[in-house]
Amino acid sequence: MNETVLSIAGLTAGYGSGDILQGASLEVRRGDVVGVLGRNGVGKTTLMRTVMGLTPSSAGSITHNGADVTGLDAEERAVRGFGYVPQGRMVFPHMSVEDNLRIGALERGRNWRRLEDMYQRFPRLRERRRQRAGTLSGGEQEMLVIARALVGDPDILLLDEPSEGVQPNIVKDIGALINELNQTGITVLLVEQNVELMQAAARVGYVMEKGRITQALSEADMHDGERLRHVLSL
């Protein structure tokens, strides 16, 4: 069994008017792709934001490679190896593709060399490097935000609903990309409501309901599409 990269225990967080996360716990092992399934509004994005350090936790702990990072801010977590791809394709729409990537490099010690790596992995982004990010297609914008996170050379990538609003053929590309990234050694925590993508990319998973993790999904469970679809109604 591989070592634990990310361990979340009893994590509680909210936005001032009560807790949204209510003691969520899960574990992610090195080299794994772990899915989190849950219907709209159960707190999946809040979980990802809290793990990244963008929303403060009020109880519980987050451990990364054996170190407690609960008290660190998002920048410190990025330096330690957290990469975050927010829901909703948060590109800077009026900036060029290249400037969007440069922001990723700035955030991680001006690692400009990584831009070239990203252009090699995403030739479409190279072709469109001078284009304003807001004029890219939905799928291209998703690739851009993933590339922006990868510029920081993360060891764990937090992906929040990358398939949202993306055409089915591009959803396949995203699944293939997650598999490729995983093969390069990146561990992935994937929030998704698209069962096909979840099955294509995640090996095991967790079910989230009302701010808590309520079930662990084994490899066999992940093959059971009916079960996954049912989980999304809980």
Ligand X SMILES: Nc1ncnc2c1ncn2[C@@H]1O[C@H](COP(=O)(O)OP(=O)(O)OP(=O)(O)O)[C@@H](O)[C@H]1O
Site residues for ligand X per CB under 6 A: 15, 20, 38, 40-46, 87
Q: Which amino acid is at 167?
A: Q
CA angle 153, 156, 157 (to 5 degrees): 85
CA distance 48 to 37: 13
Q: Rounded to the nearest whole angstrom, what is the least distance from the CB of residue 216 to ligand X in the complex? A: 18
40 binds, among ligand X, Mg ion, none (CB under 5 to 8 A by kind): ligand X
71 binds, among ligand X, Mg ion, none (CB under 5 to 8 A by kind): none
Number of residues that bind Mg ion (CB under 5 A): 3
CA distance 160 to 221: 21
112 binds, among ligand X, Mg ion, none (CB under 5 to 8 A by kind): none
Q: Where are the alpha helices (DSSP H) in the chain?
A: 44-52, 74-80, 97-107, 113-121, 123-127, 138-150, 168-183, 195-201, 219-222, 225-231
CA distance 198 to 211: 20
Query: In the complex with ligand X, which residue's Cβ is closer, 45 or 163?
Result: 45
Q: Rounded to the nearest whole angstrom, what is the least distance from the CB of residue 104 to Mg ion in the complex? A: 22
Q: Rounded to the nearest whole angstrom, what is the least distance from the CB of residue 135 to ligand X in the complex? A: 25
Q: Rounded to the nearest whole angstrom, what is the least distance from the CB of residue 142 to ligand X in the complex? A: 15
Q: For residue 36, give the 3-state DSSP assignment.
A: strand
Antiparallel, parallel or unpaired: β 4-14 and 67-68: unpaired
CA distance 145 to 89: 6
Indicate whether 194 belongs to the interface with Mg ion (CB under 5 A). no
Indicate whether 111 belongs to the interface with Mg ion (CB under 5 A). no
* Ranges within 118-157 binding Mg ion (CB under 5 A): none
Q: How many CB atoms lie within 10 A of CB 27?
A: 17
Residue of 21, 45, 118, 200 that binds Mg ion (CB under 5 A): 45
Contact range with Mg ion by CB under 5 A, out of 70-78, 85-93, 105-113, 179-187:
85-93
Indicate whether 22 belongs to the interface with Mg ion (CB under 5 A). no
The residues that touch Mg ion, with contacts defined as CB under 5 A, are 44-45, 87
